Structure 1
Amino acid sequence: MFSRLNLDRPFLNLYITTLLSFEEVPTNSILQNVIGVFLTATIVSICVYYVLRYLESIYVKYKKKPYFIHFYPTLKKLPANLQAFLDENDFYTSLGKKRKRYFSHRTFRFLEKTHFVGREGLVVDDFMRMQVSIMVIQLTFGMRHYLLEHLNTIVLYPTSFYSILNQTENIGEFNPRSKALALSWKDFQKGNMHQDKGKSLGIHEITHAIHYNSIKNNNISCEIFYDTFLELEQYLGDEEIRKNIVDTRILRDYAYTDKFEFIAVLVEVFMESPMELKEKFPEIYYYVVQMLNFKYFEK
Structure 2
Amino acid sequence: MQGLFQKFNSFFSSRVTTPAEPLHHPEVLEISDTVFSQYSVVIGSVFSYFNDLPPDSQLKFVNRTYQFKASKKFHFVGLENSEDAAILVSASAIQVTFGLKNYMMSYFKDIYILSDAYQIDNEDELYIGHVAPEGIYLSFKHFLYGYSNKNDNVNVAVHEMAHALLYNNFFAQYGTDSHFRLNYEKFSSSTGPILANVITNRRSYLRSYAFSNLHEFWAVSAEAFFENPAGLKSNMPELYEALCRVLNQDPITNHKILKSEP
Do the structures match in fold with TM over 0.5?
A: yes
The residue number in structure 2 matching 1:85 is: 42
1:75–1:102 Cα contact (<8 Å) kept: no
Q: How many angstroms does 1:115 deviate by?
A: 1.2
CA distance in 1: counterparts of 2:72 and 2:105, whole angstroms: 10
- The DSSP-based 3-state class of the residue aligned with 1:144 is coil
CA distance in 2: counterparts of 1:240 and 1:257, whole angstroms: 14
Aligned pair count reads 228
1:117–1:155 Cα contact (<8 Å) kept: yes
Cα 1:293–1:79, aligned 2, differ >3 Å: closer, same or farther? closer
Q: Which amino acid aligns with 2:127?
A: N
Q: Which has the larger helix fraction? A: 1
CA distance in 2: counterparts of 1:106 and 1:269, whole angstroms: 23
1:113 corresponds, among 71, 84, 88, to: 71
2:93 corresponds, among 136, 141, 147, to: 136
Q: Which runs of 4+ in 1 moved over 6 A?
A: none
The residue number in structure 1 matching 2:248 is: 293
Give ranges in structure 1 of 5+ residues lacking alignment: 1-49, 54-68
Q: Which amino acid aligns with 2:51?
A: T
Q: How many angstroms does 1:126 deviate by?
A: 2.4
Cα 1:143–1:165, aligned 2, differ >3 Å: closer, same or farther? farther
The residue number in structure 2 matching 1:123 is: 80
For residues 12-27 of structure 1, what are the structure 2 equivalents within 5 Å?
A: none
CA distance in 2: counterparts of 1:72 and 1:184, whole angstroms: 30
TM-score by length of 2: 0.77
Is 1:173 the counterpart of 2:130 in the alignment?
A: yes
Is 1:270 the counterpart of 2:225 in the alignment?
A: yes
The residue number in structure 1 matching 2:102 is: 145
CA distance in 1: counterparts of 2:124 and 2:105, whole angstroms: 26
For residues 199-238 of structure 1, what are the structure 2 equivalents within 5 Å?
A: 199-215=154-170, 216-217=172-173, 221=177, 223-238=178-193
TM-score by length of 1: 0.68
Identity of aligned residues (%): 22
Q: How many angstroms does 1:80 deviate by?
A: 4.0
Cα 1:296–1:97, aligned 2, differ >3 Å: closer, same or farther? same
Q: How many angstroms does 1:295 deviate by?
A: 2.6
- Which structure has the higher relative contact order (CA within 8 Å, separation 6+)? 2
Q: Which amino acid aligns with 1:209?
A: A
Q: How many angstroms does 1:230 deviate by?
A: 2.4
For residues 67-78 of structure 1, what are the structure 2 equivalents within 5 Å?
A: 72=27, 74-77=29-32, 78=35
Is 1:101 the counterpart of 2:59 in the alignment?
A: yes
Is 1:241 the counterpart of 2:197 in the alignment?
A: yes
1:70–1:102 Cα contact (<8 Å) kept: no
2:27–2:64 Cα contact (<8 Å) kept: no
Q: Which amino acid aligns with 2:105?
A: L
Q: Which amino acid aligns with 2:252?
A: F
CA distance in 1: counterparts of 2:128 and 2:43, whole angstroms: 25
CA distance in 1: counterparts of 2:155 and 2:44, whole angstroms: 21
CA distance in 1: counterparts of 2:217 and 2:123, whole angstroms: 19
The residue number in structure 1 matching 2:257 is: none
The residue number in structure 2 matching 1:184 is: 139
Give ranges in structure 2 of 5+ residues lacking alignment: 1-20, 255-262
